[in-house]
Structure 1
Amino acid sequence: MTYEEHIQSELLRWQKKILRPPGLLEKGSKAIQSKVNELYPKKFFDTLTVTIKGLVRGVLFGLEYMPKGKPIKNADLMERDQKALELLKNYKRVAAAEGAGTGAGGIILGIADFPALIAIKMKFLFELAHIYGYSTESYKERLYLLFVFQLAFSSQEKRPGVFHKLVHWDETVKDYPELKAMELFDWEQFQVEYRDAIDLRKMLQMLPGIGAVVGAVANYGLLEDLGHVGMNCYRLRILQEKGLIQMD
C-alpha cells in the first residue's frame, strides 16, 4: 500500500466520523453548556463575541500573518505531512505556554487568552496552507482557512454542513465573491459554535491556583484538534485534485 492509499483510508474513516449524527453525549453537552454559560458574566460573552468576529476578520486580511516565502511546490504528500506535523508540534508548545501564562492570572488574563489563542490558531493555518502548496495571498485560500477553522470547532450537528462546503470547494467559493465574502459568511453560527466548543475546556482556566495548568492543557488540546482537521482538509483537497478520492 502506498502512502497516498493509506491516507485515503484514513480520510474515509474521518469522513464517517464527521458525518455521523450527534449521539447522546453531544446532545447532553448542549444542556450542560447552557448551565456553564450561566457561570460567566454577560460582559465576558459580549467581549468574546466582538473579539472573535473582529480578530478573525482582521487576521484574514492582515499582512503580518502572511508566511514568509512561497508555498511549497514539488513535494509529495508524505513530505508535506511530515512538515505539517513538525509545524503543529511547535504551535502546540506556543499555545500551551500562552495558556499557562494567562491562566495564572485568573479572570482578567483568562479573557485576554481568547484573542491571543485565535491569533495563534489562524497563524498556524496560514503556515499549514503554504506547506500543502496553497498561497494565502488569494482571498479564496483565506476563506478556505475560515471554513477549516469552523469545521474544527463546530458541534457534531453542524459539522456535516461545513464539511460539505469544503469537499465541494470549487462550488462553494462561487457563493462568496471577493467583495461580499465576509458579509455573506455566517458569523453568528461561527461565533456561537466556536464559543461553545471552547467553553467546557476553558472554564476552569479562570480559577486561581489551577488556571495555569488548565490553560496549558486546554490550549494544547485545541491546537491538536485544529491541526488534525486542518491536515485532513488539505490531504483531502490534494487527493481530490489528483482524482484519487471522491466524497459526497
Structure 2
Amino acid sequence: MAGRAPPSGLSEAGYAAWAAGEVARWRTRMLKSPGAFDKATRGVQGRINEIIPEAVHTTLTTVIEKLTRTILTGADLTTGAILRDATLEDRDRRALAVLDSYRKTAAVEGGVAGAGGFWLALADFPALLTIKFKLLFDLSAVYGHEADRFDERLYILGLFQLAFSGAERRAEVFRGLEVWDLRAHPTDFEHFDWRGFQREYRDFIDLAKLAQLIPVVGAPIGALVNWKLTERVGEMAINGYRARALSRS
C-alpha cells in the first residue's frame, strides 16, 4: 500500500497531524542507511555493470534520456483541471483513487507483456515508463500543482528518481526534494545526470523485469511487478506532495 488508508471523521487540523505522522515515517525510510542486503545487491549489480560494454551503457543512457525528455516535455501528458481549494484529506483520497486506477492499468499491461515472450516484455519497458510518468502528472494536478511549469516537471522527475534509486542515492535525492520550494531550479535538462539516472532505474528493476521473461509464470509476474512498481511511484508522489502541502500550511 502507498501508506495507510486515511482515517475518517477527523477535523482538518486532526487530519493534518495524521498526515504529518505519515510523512515523518516515510522520511525515516527514505533516509535510512543502506543495510547489508542493499550493499550486497549494489555490489553484484556493480560487477554486472562493469561487464556490460561501454557502448551498451551509452546506448541505454541515450534511449532513456530521449524517452524521458519526450515524456516530460510532451503536451500529451498534460493533466486536466488542477484541483484547487481542496482540503489535504480530499486530495489524499482522490490521489489514492487515481493510483488504484493506474496500478490496474500497469498490471494488465505487464501481464500481457509477460505472456508474450521476449519482444513484448521488452516493449513493456517504455510503456511502463509512460504509465508511471502519467501517474505523476495526474497526482501533481490532484495536489494543486501546475505540471506544465518546468520546475514542477523537474520535481516530477525527482519523485521518479526517489522511487527507483538505491539507498545511498535515495537520501541525496530526498534531501533535494525536501527543500524544493525554498530554492531556485534549473531552466533546462542540460546539467541533469542522465547516466546516473538510467543506471539507478535499470538496476532497481532489472531482476524483477527479467523474471517476466520466464515461460508460463511470466504473465502473473509481469502483472505483479508492474503493480508494485507503479504503487511505489504513487507512494513517493503522495507523500512528497503531502509534505509540500504541510510545509505551506
Matched, 1:87 2:98: yes
Partner of 1:229: 236
One-letter identity of the residue aligned with 2:67: L
1:117-128 maps to which residues of 2 (within 5 A)? 117-128=128-139
1:72 aligns with 2:83: yes
Identify the match of residue 192 of structure 2 among 177, 185, 195. 185
1:143-201: CA deviation from partner (whole Å, max 9, x where unpaired)? 110001001111111111101111111344x241x2xx211111111111111111121
Contact 1:36 1:200 in 2 (8 A): no
- 1:95 & 1:134 partners in 2: Cα distance? 24
The CA RMSD over aligned residues, in Å, is 2.1
Mapped to 1, the partners of 2:142 and 2:35 lie a distance apart of 35
Q: Distance in 1 between matches of 2:57 and 2:217?
A: 22
In 2 relative to 1, CA 40–109 (structure 1 residues): closer, same or farther, beyond 3 Å? farther
* Cα offset, 1:50, TM superposition: 3.2
- The answer to whether the 8 Å contact 1:103/1:214 transfers is yes
- Offset of 1:207 from its aligned partner? 2.2
Q: Which runs of 5+ in 2 are unaligned?
A: 1-9
Whether 1:56 aligns to 2:63 is no
Q: Comparing 10-19 with 116-125, which one deviates more in the overlay?
A: 10-19
User: CA–CA distance in 2 between the matches of 1:89 and 1:32?
Assistant: 34
Aligned partners of 1:205, 1:91: CA distance in 2, in Å? Answer: 19
Where structure 1 has 5 or more consecutive residues not aligned to the other structure, the ranges are 243-248
1:107 to 109, 118, 137: 118
In 2, Cα distance between equivalents of 1:184 and 1:45: 19
- Give how far 1:66 is off: 0.6
When residues 207 and 90 of structure 1 are mapped into structure 2, their CA distance, relative to the original with a 3 A threshold, is same
Alignment-derived partner of residue 35 in structure 2: 23
TM-score, scaled to structure 2: 0.88
Counterpart position of 1:194: 201
CA contact (8 A) 1:71 1:130 kept: yes
Q: CA deviation at 1:34?
A: 4.7
Shift of residue 75, structure 1, vs aligned partner: 0.5
Alignment partner, residue 143 of structure 2: 132
- How far, CA to CA, are the matches of 1:152 and 1:9 in structure 2? 20
Q: 1:32 to 1:210 in 2, by over 3 A?
A: farther
TM-score normalised per structure 1: 0.89
Runs of 4+ in 1 over 6 A off after TM superposition: 35-46
Matched, 1:211 2:240: no
Structure 2 counterpart SS, 1:71: coil
- Find the aligned partners of 2:43 and 2:212 in 1 and give their Cα distance: 21
Q: How many residues align?
A: 237
Q: Partner letter of residue 226 of structure 2?
A: N
Using the alignment, how far apart are the partners of 1:38 and 1:211 within structure 2?
28
Counterpart secondary structure, 1:208? coil
